[in-house]
């Protein structure tokens, strides 16, 4: 199966209720919709859940080019800990991500049509990063273009952190904390305090041009952190 890249971004949303989240999201995404229509969408699209827990409901619907999925309890209360699953697709990009309290987990990112850049496989990432080449710059420019076009205007993200989805106890532990909703800064501090040695962290231009062994760190890789500017 191989190992995939996980992308985590920060955001400035306060996730309280589904109504408030959708109202803020639509405003930032330039989707014109009234609060009454949002309430109507919610009430019309709640159904029994296939989620692997008892006594849950799901809320699933499409709005503009986005598809949303929320998990609710049996009393129709929003279960924030399970995140908000969102898919976006247009003629250029296909993105799947989850919004947690303190971060966005971007786990599927494709550009439509023929594209020589692979955003998902860790072995390709190592190939891009072990030398500071024109192709490495192209990869970074394309990544930033997608993020700035589709996610930054909505979530006002300032950072993106990359790691592997299943490489070592350290990486998997940090991903678990991300999915619990903690921020990038919290995870970076946790990395330093929890592990000895911690995962290496390369930032911005220092991600490129290191020795190949630096990208495996005894297992698979450090954390890559980019400031979105």
Coil, helix or strand for 73? strand
Count CB neighbours of 43 within 10 A: 10
pLDDT value of position 212: 65
Contact by Cβ (8 Å): 155, 25: no
Q: Which residues of the chain have pLDDT under 70?
A: 1-3, 51-53, 113-119, 121-135, 165-167, 210-221
Contact by Cβ (8 Å): 170, 202: no
Distance CA 103, CA 196 (A): 25
pLDDT value of position 8: 93
Read off the pTM.
0.88
pLDDT value of position 215: 61
pLDDT value of position 5: 80
pLDDT value of position 140: 80
Closest CA to 143 of 177, 166, 94, 109: 109
Distance CA 51, CA 54 (A): 8
pLDDT value of position 72: 93
| Strand pairing report for 46-48 and 56-63 | antiparallel
């Amino acid at each position: 199966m191989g190992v995939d890249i996980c992308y985590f971004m920060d955001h400035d949303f306060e996730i309280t209720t589904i109504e408030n989240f959708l109202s803020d999201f639509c405003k930032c995404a330039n989707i014109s919709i009234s609060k009454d229509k949002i309430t109507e969408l919610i009430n019309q699209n709640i159904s029994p859940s296939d989620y692997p827990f008892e006594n849950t409901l799901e809320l699933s619907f499409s709005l503009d080019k986005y598809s949303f999925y929320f998990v609710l309890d049996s009393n129709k209360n929003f279960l924030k800990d399970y995140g908000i699953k969102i898919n976006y697709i247009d003629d250029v990009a296909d993105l799947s991500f989850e919004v947690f309290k303190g971060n966005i987990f971007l786990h599927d990112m494709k550009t439509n049509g023929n594209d020589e850049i692979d955003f998902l496989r860790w072995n390709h990432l190592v190939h891009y990063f072990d030398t500071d080449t024109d192709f490495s710059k192209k990869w970074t420019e394309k990544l930033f273009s997608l993020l700035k076009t589709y996610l930054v205007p909505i979530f006002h993200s300032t950072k993106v952190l990359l790691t592997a989805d299943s490489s070592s106890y350290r990486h998997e532990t940090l991903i678990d904390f991300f999915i619990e909703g903690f921020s990038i800064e919290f995870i970076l501090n946790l990395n330093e305090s929890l592990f000895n040695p911690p995962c290496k962290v390369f930032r911005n231009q220092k991600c490129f041009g290191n020795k190949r062994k630096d990208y495996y760190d005894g297992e698979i890789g450090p954390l890559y952190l980019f400031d979105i500017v």
